[in-house]
Chain A
Amino acid sequence: MAKILIVDDSSTVRDEVAGFLKAAGLEVATAIDGKDGLAKIKADPGLKLVVCDVNMPNMDGLTMVEKVRAELGNKSINVIMLTTESSPAMKERGKAAGIKGWIVKPFNGAAVLETFKKLAA
């Protein structure tokens, strides 16, 4: 089954996104910040899609993505940022780190479900 990792320091967002994706038949794991996310990505070679916030304590989402690329190389993990940020500079930084897409919160599951399924397959 396709597995998705949700990285967000807000339990409200984790519950909302994970609940929606589970109800859609996807397997979901969660991480509470970038540091936790990085550890879980390293520990799960089968992971295909990560949905990640930007502003988080301990390690922010963009730093996490950069570390994933630096430490895991070209491993094919798709990363989508789910954040309140829409700054072009941040998007450029994300693109440089190889993220696949950007969603400005709030989360609209119906609008992205099919894409998530493809990226997680």
Chain B
Amino acid sequence: MDEQLVSKVLILDDSAQHRDALREFCDANHLVGLKVRKSRLMSVLRTNIDLGAIFFSENYALTPEESAELAVRIHSVRPELPIILRRETAADFAGVPDSLRRATCAVYRAGDWTRLKEIVDHHIFSLYYPCELVRGISELTESVLAAQFPTLAVNWETPCVVRDRVIFGEVFSLIPLESNWCRGYMMLQTEEQGLLDYLLRHAGRTEAGFRDVNNLLAEITNLIWGGFKNRYIGDGGAALRQVQVPLVVNHRHKYISFGSDNPQLCFLYTLRDEECGQEIRIFQRFVFNLNWSPEDFKVVLHAGDSLVAAGELELF
């Protein structure tokens, strides 16, 4: 697996002259550029595509006023997404309507890739995630999913950094992660029907309901959480920490807030039934909203780790 984190950016920029250079910039800076038709823009923003930011040209709409109005609408729908403004000649907000200025987070002049790189590093890749952590999460999650869904093929995409807070699917789990180097949550999000189908087709069930789906997702969450703790937290996570912040879920907008603007670490796993082609998608997000100190991150080594594998009995 490629351990380099990527981030998806929505490119709202029609300049043919700028397009190729922007594509090269994205390739060189671990960004996946996505384009969308103007007519579908707002509906795409309301769906879950795990965005990290929006690249917005001041000439995207027909007039500066219309561009400003569009940026404001985007910002109102997805206020958590940084909108990065490209200008033709100016390198700052001079002359930009106030409304557009308020909706965007930063500005760069066309062709000034050094400045754009600074903006991307500041607004998207602002948290450092150790490669060992990213790789380890994928490995242990794949191991859990393979054990829990032995008849399905497990695949995953390159992990990405996301800023949006849109909830995928219909069912999700949350579990706290507490250590001396991180505090936050792991969240699994998926669709109900795929797990129901699995229970009925592959798990020998004659009937299954949403509670069975909940229980299955809870157990997967528990197994991954246990693996994470054993590998990265050990006995250092037991200290009592008092600080908490409210989590807010807005069902109407399928939106969850952890009270922090920090980018989230996102993984997507796909469980595929090779016989019928059906897939279950599981989004896994790590949200270190209460503490993130990667300089203290380390892999926990237990004496005797090599002697007792998961599933085997260690007799005392």
Which residues of B (222-237) have their CB < 8 Å from a CB of A?
222-223, 225-227, 229-230, 234-235
Known: A84-B222, A87-B235, A88-B303. A107 touches B313 (CB 8 A): no
Distance (whole angstroms) from the CB of A21 to the closest CB of chain B: 14
Contact of B226 among A84, A100, A108 (CB under 8 A): A84
Would you give the 0/1 interface string for B205-218, flagging 1 where the beta carbon is closer than 8 Å to chain A? 00000001001101
Interface-side segment among B61-69, B185-193, B240-248, B304-312: B304-312
Would you give the 0/1 interface string for A88-102, flagging 1 where the beta carbon is closer than 8 Å to chain B? 110100110001111
Contact of A10 among B218, B227, B313 (CB under 8 A): B218
Give every chain B residue within 8 A of A18 (Cβ-Cβ).
none
Which residues of B (134-149) have their CB < 8 Å from a CB of A?
144, 147-148
Give every chain A residue within 8 A of B201 (Cβ-Cβ).
none
By the criterion CB–CB under 8 Å, are A12 and B218 in contact?
yes
A29 at the interface (CB under 8 A from B): no
Give every chain B residue within 8 A of A105 (Cβ-Cβ).
222-223, 226, 310-311
By the criterion CB–CB under 8 Å, are B216 and A100 in contact?
no
Identity of the chain B residue whose Cβ is nearest the Cβ of A112 in the assembled complex: B313
By the criterion CB–CB under 8 Å, are A85 and B315 in contact?
no
Give every chain B residue within 8 A of A103 (Cβ-Cβ).
311-314
| Complex CA distance for A67 and B32, rounded to whole angstroms | 56
| Complex CA distance for A37 and B132, rounded to whole angstroms | 39
By the criterion CB–CB under 8 Å, are B148 and A106 in contact?
yes
Distance (whole angstroms) from the CB of A14 to the closest CB of chain B: 9
Known: A11-B215, A55-B222, A89-B235. 5 other contacts (CB 8 A): A10-B219, A10-B222, A94-B316, A104-B309, A111-B311
Chain A positions near chain B (C-beta within 8 angstroms): 10-13, 55, 80, 83-89, 91, 94-95, 99-108, 111-112, 115
